Amino acid sequence: MSDQSLRKAIIATCRAMNASRLNTGTSGNVSARTETGFLVTPSGIPYDDLTPEQIVGMDLDGTYEGDWLPSSEWRMHLDIYRARPEAGAIVHVHSSHAAALSCLRLDIPPFHYMIAVAGGPTLRCADYATFGTAELSRNMIAGLQGRSACLLANHGQIAFGATLTKALWLAGEVEELCHQFFLATQMAATMGKPLVILDEPEMARVMEKFTTYGKQPRDFAPGEHAAFDVSVKKV
């Protein structure tokens, strides 16, 4: 993808995350990796007003180019790209249920098997630190160990993927899981029943199946097989 196309794709992702109510206003930020660093949204510009020229190019040493300041959360993007070579794009949002649950500063347990979508048997909540600081970024990297998404205490959530589409999709999955967890805990309290948590053996099975989750035959490496039956013939 060309530089100009990637800038346009970042803007489209920002507008999509607000249109889907994963985010509101100018909060949140989006980035995508380039050959020499990454492109990230600028600080304080409404997404509907963004132009490709306002997307900020940054190197992996933290320097940036152009007349526009990068997002105040550029450190989180920088540190993910440094630490996680598989990250091609990052979406950070203040989605309602993820932000609300982040204020409890608790890891979300495996109440639903889809928790594994973030890469592990829990959805972690990274320790709190002031926004835009190196400390927050360090806490986030710890929260993302073995994961591709986490909550940020008293803040929101962050997710990454190979592409902008996958990063945005994962952020949506995280928000939906947080919404479901909120509803499940409310219902458990109302009905006087315990919330049932999936045990470690079951989550191990789920994690194994998730190694091929969402793949089509063209996506498998030589010798790799799906963790489900693909023997049904197309008719």
Give the residue numbers annotated as catalytic, written as ranges.
73
- Domain of 53, CATH number, reads 3.40.225.10
**Looking at residue 115, what is its pLDDT?**
97
Is 71 part of any domain? yes
Give the global pTM: 0.89
206 belongs to a structural domain: no
The number of beta carbons lying within 10 Å of the beta carbon of residue 72 is 13
Kindly state whether residue 212 falls inside one of the protein's structural domains.
Answer: no
Tokens 């589409």 sit on residue: 165
> 211 in a domain, yes or no?
no
pLDDT for position 224: 47
Structural domain containing residue 7: 3-191
Q: What are phi and psi of 123, to 5 degrees?
A: -100, 105
The whole-angstrom separation of Cα 60 and Cα 126 is 23
Rounded to whole angstroms, the Cα distance separating 63 from 107 reads: 34
Determine, yes or no, domain membership for 199.
Answer: no
The DSSP line for the chain is: --HHHHHHHHHHHHHHHHHTTSS-TT-SEEEEE-SSEEEEPBSS--GGG--GGGSEEEETTS-B-SSSPBPTTHHHHHHHHHH-TT--EEEEE--HHHHHHHTTT-PBP-SSGGGGGGTSSSB-EEPP--TTSHHHHHHHHHHTTT-SEEEETTTEEEEEESSHHHHHHHHHHHHHHHHHHHHHHHHHHHHT-PPP---HHHHHHHHHHGGGTT--GGGSPTT---SS---PPP-
In-domain check, residue 196: no
What is the chain's mean pLDDT, rounded? 91
Number of domains in the chain: 1
State residue 2's pLDDT score.
Answer: 85
Q: Would you say 63 and 78 are in contact if contact means Cβ atoms under 8 Å apart?
A: no
What pLDDT digit, counting tens, does each position of 150-173 carry?
A: 999 999 999 999 999 999 999 999
Let me know if residue 140 belongs to a domain.
yes
**pLDDT less than 50: residues of the chain:** 220-221, 224-235
Residue 221 domain-assigned (yes or no): no
Query: Identity (one letter) of the amino acid at 99?
Result: A
